[in-house]
Amino acid sequence: MSESISSIPNTRGTGLGPGASSEPARPPILEARRLVKRYRMGRRSLEVLRGVNLVIREGAFLAIRGASGAGKSTLLHLLGGLDVPDEGEILFQGRPLAGLSETALSRFRNRHVGFVFQAYHLLPELDALENVCLPARMARMDPREAERRGRELLARVGLGARMEHKPAELSGGEQQRVAIARALINEPALVLADEPTGNLDSQTGEEILRLLLEIRAERGLTLVMATHDDRVAAHAPAVVELVDGVIRGQVPVQPTGPDLSGVGC
């Protein structure tokens, strides 16, 4: 690949949201083509993804639904460059991830993708503000600018009074708010959320989901969320199902909802 993917400008949606159906389809931000992923266990090989095809357009909100063990986390890890497929390819803003060096892949993740995990994955020895600022420090952002952004984001997620708290001094919902702020600090175009409400009670889960959706609309983000929970998936205008290692089913259309041309499969 002649051009490193990390040199792609960090473009985001217009902030208008996915728009009305008369709006022309936005360009794909992410494409998966015939993705195959196998895990090797000694002599045995478990084929978890068996040819996943997915086109996700800028500004889309897609839920990937599937039973426990269906391969949702595996797919999100591939889409976000945390792991590599055995076959097939992933294009981010039209450019393949394949062939990127470890360093370039890690730059790609740092600059272009925000991750939100079920178990938050905060560093226990850092306080909320330091956790949020970490990806900015990795991106070599000016420390004062990183702190300014971190404080602003923590205030946005409702934790203005908890900035100096360590993860163990925060509730699960608060930890997930910190993780959301951390995911946003480098202003990624894409947020990948893996069961973001999976460890939370239903009311807190609803609050976290609402927060994610508000922030997505404010910033024109593309959001891809994996869930096994139909009630959570129901919040997404577009839902696909991962069954037997492939994407199944049509993308349902809500007549009054956001544009659904954002997702194809």
Ligand X SMILES: Nc1ncnc2c1ncn2[C@@H]1O[C@H](COP(=O)(O)OP(=O)(O)OP(=O)(O)O)[C@@H](O)[C@H]1O
**Which range in 64-72, 170-178, 209-217, 247-255 contacts ligand X by CB under 6 A?**
64-72
Decide: is 46 part of the binding site for ligand X (CB under 6 A). yes
Number of residues binding to ligand X, judged by CB under 6 A? 13
Residues 69-128 that bind ligand X (CB under 6 A): 69-74
Token readout for 256 is 């009054």
Decide: is 42 part of the binding site for ligand X (CB under 6 A). no
**Which range in 40-48, 50-58, 120-128, 205-213 contacts ligand X by CB under 6 A?**
40-48
Decide: is 244 part of the binding site for ligand X (CB under 6 A). no
Decide: is 65 part of the binding site for ligand X (CB under 6 A). no
Question: Tokens 């938050």 belong to which residue?
Answer: 120
Q: What are phi and psi of 170, to 5 degrees?
A: -125, 150
Where would I find the beta strands (DSSP E) of the chain?
Answer: 28-41, 44-57, 61-65, 87-92, 95-96, 113-117, 190-194, 222-227, 238-243, 246-248, 263-264
Per the DSSP assignment, residues forming a β-bridge with 192 are 115, 224
**Which range in 19-27, 53-61, 62-70, 98-106 contacts ligand X by CB under 6 A?**
62-70
DSSP 13-62: --SS-S--TTSPPPPEEEEEEEEEEEEEETTEEEEEEEEEEEEEETT-EE
Minimum CB separation of residue 99 from ligand X in Å reads 23
**Which range in 68-76, 132-140, 155-163, 169-177 contacts ligand X by CB under 6 A?**
68-76
Applying CB under 6 A, which residues contact ligand X?
39, 41, 46, 48, 66, 68-74, 228
